Structure 1
Amino acid sequence: MKYNFLIALSLSALCLRSTAQQVKFSEYDLDNGLHVILHQDKTAPVVAVSVMYHVGSKDEDPGRTGFAHFFEHLLFEGSENMKRGEFMKIVSSNGGQNNANTTQDRTFYYEVFPSNQLELGLWLESERMLHPKIDNAGVKTQNEVIKEEKRMRIDNKPYGKFAENIFAHLFEGHPYSWQPIGSMAHLDAARLEEFIAFFKKYYAPNNAVLTIAGDLDIEKTKGLVAKYFNEVPKGIPIVKGTFELKPVTKQIVDTVYDANIQIPAIFAAYRVPGMKSRDHKVLEMISSVLSGGGSSRLSTKMVDEKKTALQVSAFNYTLEDYGAYITLAMPNNNTPLDQLLTEIDAEVVRLQTDLITESEFKKLQNQFENGYVSANTKMIGLAENLSNGYIFHDKHTNNLNEQLAEAKSISREEIRDVAKKYLRKDQRVVLYYLPKK
């Protein structure tokens, strides 16, 4: 059964690759405010059921950080109609897969099933929304799980603390200044009533999108959605906080010592616009020019030709309100970190001064077209992208179908001008990441 299911997933990916230029979908709202998005694709007997809640670490009290990520775990504890620990067993025993993840801006839960188990997926997500088990036993269990996760992913992981140190400077005065995993001391101090209140406020249907993609019958699916979600009560309307940060006007330099590393690294990070801005897409293109593959500018210059770096990279970490454009390098042959930063800066200045070549531009457009198609080959990826369009683009779900045209409309001049506008030395954080002796 599992072998056949994996084959179906692969077939689904192959078939979608040739037809993914325009994604068809339907959408509507339930009376309780739950937004529903349906995408039909009958190329393989697979269906993805997902719920995205518009809640992340950005929505937390500064004295109670880590709540959104905590609920990513806690809402697998079971429900009034499901024994503790049964959620994942039910999924796997019916040929499915499931997971969840949390960012600063949203929490995303999903199951991927053979399509004859669609109703089961809807029941599971409705149980999570309507009848979750939130008690002291579950809180204690997940508290220990998250502490172990923090030890593995941050405390004991090489270079695991770079983001928290960069973001603390780059987003001072904004909830992005702390990481989604939050503070263990805050979670230890929190009372059960606080967890229940957080759930009631943010995990309501009017703060969520239910997206279903795959081998489904639209009318039958609408009936099942009504069956399992109509009874969920509407929550209190949520008013999102707004944060206007002062611009960074001079370079900020910091140093971190990490006992888990032997090779130092240097990071440079710039505060940039959030995902609603066209400029964030331009910055993604800049990342591709600088470090998108072995033939990119930074890799060619610093890894292949000069051999000053073991690794060099540039990427745009996009969030709802703002973003962080980050460059990093690890030295080869004891190259000084300052020299690595100088070499990266030289390539940035080159981008700010000269237009990229026509061949680079053509390669860039091909990369983005391939990336767009690849991002929508799997039903769960497609479901997430549709949800993102609704949540983060003013309820404009069709943003998914406009992304490729937007990328193709970006000019070489725009790439130069955006690099000049945001990637300036006087508005960045430089982080020296050194081995702890």
Structure 2
Amino acid sequence: MINRLILLLSIFSLSTRLNAQQVNFSEYDLENGLHVILHKDKTAPVVAVSVMYHVGSKDENPERTGFAHFFEHLLFEGSKNIKRGDFMNIVSSNGGQNNANTSQDRTFYYEIFPSNQLELGLWLESERMLHPKIEDIGVKTQREVVKEEKRMRIDNQPYGKFTENIFYHLFRGNPYSWQPIGSMEHLDAATLEEFIAFFNKYYVPNNAVLTIAGDIDLEKTKAMVAKYFNEVPKGKILQRDVVQVKPVVKQIVDTVYDANIQIPAIFAAYRIPGMKNRENKILDMISSILSGGGSSRLSMKMVDEKRTALQVSAFNYTLEDYGVYITLALPNNNTPLDDLLKDIDAEVSRLRTDLISESEFKKLQNKFENDYVSSNSSMIGVAENLSNGYTFHNKNTNYLNQQLEQIRSITPEEIREVAKKYLRNDQRVVLYYLPKK
């Protein structure tokens, strides 16, 4: 009787928590194709204004890589009504903060303001979309900014080029084969006309999602959205085809030398399905089993017990069309890299053959539920998650509210089958990452 009561209370607690985490929103389209998502939350006088453009490095010409990331910088230069260099000053002087980021699949701009500055945020994003400054002086300035970023984040960063090498092998002939930072030679060779053409093609309302989350009045917000975005002209309809890649049928081995490191590393990477595929979420769970914290399998075995690794990790690099599952280790006490790889492979093999325990599975579900709650604990987090649902999940903005149900529906049997299907030695890249003298 007591066990049954505990079970009923647990089910009630879970149900209450799931319902409490439902994110309410409304959405609609402007005539120019701009999709608008509104989330009202009065718990704090804060509002997040964001625009997600469905353009990333995979949309670039192979001879002009780096454009999407370059525009992440260039579109802060100013506009017809904002002087060069004033964009960020306007934000900070009105109590706000702003940023942007670019991936292979999208570019995301946002501002976080006190809620009484909502209109300012909408005006800034409409200026960015309607008539930004794309001029020679801005292009030259941002070229140097991007070059310095590449030097700091990649060229002079320890292990900074491992993704570049992994993606090159796994995606030959596919736009995912290059990284968002792109080629500095391509940016130097590009003309102003090429930059303008790229903007006119991709930074249009019908290729974007405007998401506003926070302390807002819905009707007043809709009126402001119309005021600032109705006049933006609609762009041409984009046709996107997924570029297929040949299957990896045998293990690829490569060696990279890095002058920025003193400790070598070993990487093993597998091509996996994109974010729309349920199996991608299961691979997220496999990452947590292998290296999600100090009590994870790889950490306990290689760092704590055998002390052969300084660091060991497994993670899912999620993309729209495909993904990459990466394992890595740094040796301790001069442990040979091949020994580290054998230990990682042994734990992967155990996942491929044995079901995880009930306690491990429960811990896994709790972690993913808590991660979901954390990801929606800020207004900009909610705005980005709503935008992702519409952009990457067949215009299903409500995907955000379906994730917990999806997490709870995954079974230990599925975890074993997905590991068996994708984490195979004959369809991976092994990368030896060694110090360069």
Superposed pair shares fold, TM > 0.5 = yes
Aligned to 2:216: 216
- TM-score, with length taken from structure 2: 0.96
Cα distance, 1:131 vs structure 2 = 1.1
Cα distance, 1:118 vs structure 2 = 0.1
**Preserved CA contact (<8 Å) 1:20 1:373:** no
Cα distance, 1:18 vs structure 2 = 9.7
Distance 1:247 1:278 in 2: 20
Q: Secondary structure at the match of 1:36?
A: strand
Q: Secondary structure at the match of 2:320?
A: coil
Aligned to 1:303: 303
Distance 2:19 2:94 in 1: 29
- Residue 377 of structure 2 corresponds to residue 377 of structure 1: yes
- Residue 87 of structure 2 corresponds to residue 68 of structure 1: no
- Residue 176 of structure 2 corresponds to residue 187 of structure 1: no
- Residue 358 of structure 2 corresponds to residue 348 of structure 1: no
Aligned to 1:417: 417
Q: Secondary structure at the match of 1:374?
A: helix
Structure 1, gaps ≥5 residues long: 1-16
- Residue 236 of structure 2 corresponds to residue 236 of structure 1: yes
**Preserved CA contact (<8 Å) 1:20 1:377:** no
Aligned to 1:205: 205
Distance 1:246 1:63 in 2: 22
**1:134-161 deviation line (CA, Å, top 9, x unaligned):** 0000000000000000000000000000
Superposed, which structure 2 residues align to 1:207-356 within 5 Å?
207-356=207-356
Aligned to 1:5: none
- Residue type of the partner of 1:246? K
Aligned to 2:12: none
Aligned to 1:108: 108
Alignment CA distance shift 1:413-1:18 (3 Å): closer
Matched positions, count = 421
Aligned to 1:156: 156
- Residue type of the partner of 1:171? F
- TM-score, with length taken from structure 1: 0.96
Cα distance, 1:241 vs structure 2 = 2.7
- Residue type of the partner of 2:203? Y
Distance 2:290 2:241 in 1: 35
Distance 1:354 1:173 in 2: 36
**1:31-52 deviation line (CA, Å, top 9, x unaligned):** 0000000000000000000000
Distance 2:389 2:170 in 1: 26
**1:271-319 deviation line (CA, Å, top 9, x unaligned):** 0000000000000000000000000000000000000000000000010
**1:174-193 deviation line (CA, Å, top 9, x unaligned):** 11000001000000000000
Q: Secondary structure at the match of 2:432?
A: strand
- Residue 39 of structure 2 corresponds to residue 39 of structure 1: yes
Distance 1:426 1:345 in 2: 12
**Preserved CA contact (<8 Å) 1:213 1:379:** yes
- Residue 79 of structure 2 corresponds to residue 79 of structure 1: yes
Q: Secondary structure at the match of 1:85?
A: coil
Aligned to 2:404: 404
Alignment CA distance shift 1:429-1:20 (3 Å): farther
Q: Secondary structure at the match of 1:270?
A: strand
Aligned to 1:3: none
Cα distance, 1:19 vs structure 2 = 7.5
Aligned to 1:12: none
Distance 1:172 1:385 in 2: 30
Aligned to 1:388: 388
**1:75-132 deviation line (CA, Å, top 9, x unaligned):** 0000000100000000000000000000000000000000000000000000000010
Alignment CA distance shift 1:277-1:151 (3 Å): same
Cα distance, 1:20 vs structure 2 = 5.4
**Preserved CA contact (<8 Å) 2:18 2:404:** no
Aligned to 1:125: 125
**1:225-254 deviation line (CA, Å, top 9, x unaligned):** 000000000001011132111110000001
**Preserved CA contact (<8 Å) 2:254 2:430:** yes
Aligned to 1:6: none
**1:194-227 deviation line (CA, Å, top 9, x unaligned):** 0000000000000000000000000000000000
Distance 1:167 1:180 in 2: 12
**Preserved CA contact (<8 Å) 2:57 2:104:** yes
Q: Secondary structure at the match of 1:179?
A: coil
Distance 1:25 1:271 in 2: 35
Distance 1:82 1:364 in 2: 49
Superposed, which structure 2 residues align to 1:166-185 within 5 Å?
166-185=166-185
Q: Secondary structure at the match of 2:429?
A: strand
Distance 2:297 2:57 in 1: 35
Superposed, which structure 2 residues align to 1:4-43 within 5 Å?
21-43=21-43
Determine what percentage of the aligned residue pairs are the same residue. 81
Q: Secondary structure at the match of 1:316?
A: strand
Q: Secondary structure at the match of 1:312?
A: strand
**Preserved CA contact (<8 Å) 1:250 1:426:** yes
Distance 1:160 1:404 in 2: 34
Structure 2, gaps ≥5 residues long: 1-16
- Residue type of the partner of 1:241? D
**1:381-402 deviation line (CA, Å, top 9, x unaligned):** 1100000000000100000000
Aligned to 2:57: 57
Cα distance, 1:164 vs structure 2 = 0.2
Distance 2:238 2:124 in 1: 25
- Residue type of the partner of 1:49? V
